[in-house]
Structure formats: structure tokens, C-alpha cells
């Protein structure tokens, strides 16, 4: 699973702006879902302004330095019971982020052509909310609370620890790519799955997005 990590330097320099451009068109990772009831939990808070979200972001320790490039290998979110391997994903032929295989419910995907977790910039990890058999890796993502930690283990053995400071649902038809993926000057992480309303005909109509900032490395 995942791609060969031999060409790391070339991938580290891949343009990140392409994803933001695609996201502005209303990209969604997973366009299908199952008719679960009552369905996955959704964030309780209403959408907040960019300035308000920035004000809620944690201030990392002064001595904390961004990490060098290294692919992601595992994600842990203890507060919602997530402990999952990560595979590399890119864009599919239609320009959508290519989600991990739906038949593996406990698999997350890291967008390999962007920032690696722990680097300065915004890294992206995606995963299914459910599949035909039931809940999947990020089913509980909408219940995550600010202040909780997300740990991402990398292939260099380092662990980047991120603190959640926002979680929102955005419409797939009006996804704010620049707001979600913009460079804040810090090492950031976005964890994304499907959310919002659901219909058998169209699947989920939104994306749950977790905003988190690196506060520790090990």
C-alpha cells in the first residue's frame, strides 16, 4: 500500500497550490456513503470566521522547530479511538483527492504531493467516514473537541503532535480551499472526511474538516 518513498526530495518540492485550486471547485474525497442511522456525529459549533479561528489556534513553544520532510505512516487520535495506518494518496483522474480503499475501514490517506506532517505548511490526511459495511476510520471525527491531540507518526520515526483548534463542516459545493489550506506560518494539519447531510442519490453533501497546529515533536 502507498507508493515507493524513494523519490522523496522530488515530492517534497511538488507544488502545493494545485490542491487549493482544485479544492475551490468543490472537491470532495468520498462521494459515496451508506444509509447509516442516526449517522456519524457532526461538529456542534457553527462556522467561524477565519480571524476567529486563527485566534483560537494554540501558540507553539518558542523552541519548537518544524520537521524535515518525511512521509506519514500512522495517525492516532486517542480521544475518538482512532489508531490507523496511513497510505499515500494523490489525485484521481477527475482531480479529486483519491481516498484510501473503501473496503479497508481502518485506513487513512496522506496527500503525498503536499506538505508532510510536521513541516511548515498545511498537511492533509483524509479517510472514509463509512463504507457499505458500516463505520470507517473517521466516523467519529465530527465529535472531536478543541484542545484534543492528533499524533502523526512518520517514516523517519518522528512523531508530530497537533492540537485541535477548530472543527467545521463545509459544503462540497462551496468548499473554502484557501481558508482550509492556506499557509499560517506554522506546521498545520487538516484531517478531512465526509459529513453534513446524506442522501442515497448523492451521498454526503459536505466535508468535516479538523484544524490542528503542531505543538510538540518526539
CATH value at residue 117: 2.40.260.10
Question: Domain range holding 174?
Answer: 29-217
Q: What is the pLDDT of residue 18?
A: 39
Which among 38, 29, 45 is positioned nearest to 197, based on CA atoms? 38
Mean pLDDT of 96-117: 91
H or E stretch at 160: strand 159-171
Here the cell at position 169 is: 463542516
Q: Is 62 helix (H, G, I), strand (E, B) or coil?
A: coil
Q: What is the pLDDT of residue 37?
A: 53
Please list, in sequence order, all residues whose beta carbon lies within 8 angstroms of the beta carbon of residue 8, skipping any fewer than 6 positions away.
69, 70, 71
Mean pLDDT of 124-136: 94
Residue 4 domain-assigned? Answer: no
Residue 174 domain-assigned? Answer: yes
Percent of the chain surpassing pLDDT 70:
81
pTM over 0.85: no
Residue 17 domain-assigned? Answer: no
Residue 130 domain-assigned? Answer: yes
Mean pLDDT of 101-130: 95
pLDDT beyond 50 at 27: no
Residue 16 domain-assigned? Answer: no
Residue 20 domain-assigned? Answer: no
Mean pLDDT of 22-30: 34
Burial of 123 (0-12, 13-18, 19+ CB in 10 A): buried
Residue 141 domain-assigned? Answer: yes
The DSSP 8-state label assigned to residue 119 in this structure reads: B
How, if at all, do strands 130-131 and 134-135 pair? antiparallel
Compute the C-alpha angle 11/74/34, nearest 5°: 100
Q: What is the pLDDT of residue 22?
A: 35
pLDDT beyond 50 at 24: no
Q: What is the 3-state secondary structure (H, E, C) of 83-117?
A: EEEEEEECECCCCCECCCCCCCCCCEEEECCCCCE
Q: What is the pLDDT of residue 154?
A: 98
Domain count, the chain: 1
b or e along 142-154 (b: 16 or more beta carbons within 10 Å of the residue's beta carbon)?
bbbebebebbbbb
Summarize pLDDT for 181-200 with one digit per residue, the tens: 899 999 999 999 999 988 88
- Strands in 172-202 per DSSP E: 187-199
Summarize pLDDT for 29-44 with one digit per residue, the tens: 344 445 545 689 988 7
More confident of the two residues 106 and 56:
106
The mean pLDDT value of the chain amounts to 83
Percent of the chain surpassing pLDDT 90:
58
Residue 45 binned pLDDT confidence (cut-offs 50, 70, 90): low
pLDDT beyond 50 at 2: no
Residue 180 domain-assigned? Answer: yes
Amino acid at each position: 500500500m502507498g507508493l515507493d518513498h524513494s523519490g522523496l526530495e522530488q515530492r517534497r518540492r511538488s507544488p502545493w497550490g494545485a490542491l487549493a485550486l482544485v479544492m475551490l471547485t468543490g472537491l470532495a474525497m468520498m462521494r459515496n456513503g451508506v444509509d447509516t442511522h442516526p449517522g456519524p456525529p457532526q461538529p456542534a459549533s457553527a462556522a467561524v470566521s477565519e480571524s476567529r479561528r486563527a485566534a483560537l489556534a494554540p501558540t507553539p513553544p518558542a523552541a519548537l522547530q518544524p520537521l524535515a520532510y518525511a512521509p506519514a505512516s500512522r495517525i492516532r487520535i486517542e480521544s475518538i479511538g482512532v489508531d490507523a495506518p496511513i497510505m499515500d494518496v494523490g489525485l484521481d483522474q477527475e482531480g479529486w483527492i483519491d481516498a484510501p480503499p473503501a473496503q479497508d475501514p481502518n485506513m487513512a490517506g496522506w496527500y503525498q504531493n503536499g506538505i508532510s506532517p510536521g513541516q511548515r505548511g498545511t498537511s492533509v490526511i483524509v479517510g472514509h467516514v463509512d463504507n457499505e459495511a458500516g463505520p470507517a476510520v473517521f466516523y467519529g471525527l465530527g465529535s472531536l473537541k478543541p484542545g484534543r491531540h492528533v499524533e502523526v507518526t512518520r517514516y523517519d520515526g518522528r512523531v508530530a503532535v497537533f492540537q485541535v483548534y477548530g472543527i467545521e463542516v463545509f459544503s462540497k459545493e462551496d468548499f473554502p480551499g484557501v481558508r482550509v489550506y492556506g499557509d499560517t506560518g506554522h506546521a498545520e494539519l487538516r484531517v478531512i472526511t465526509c459529513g453534513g447531510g446524506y442522501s442515497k442519490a448523492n451521498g454526503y453533501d459536505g466535508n468535516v474538516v479538523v484544524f490542528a497546529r503542531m505543538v510538540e515533536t518526539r
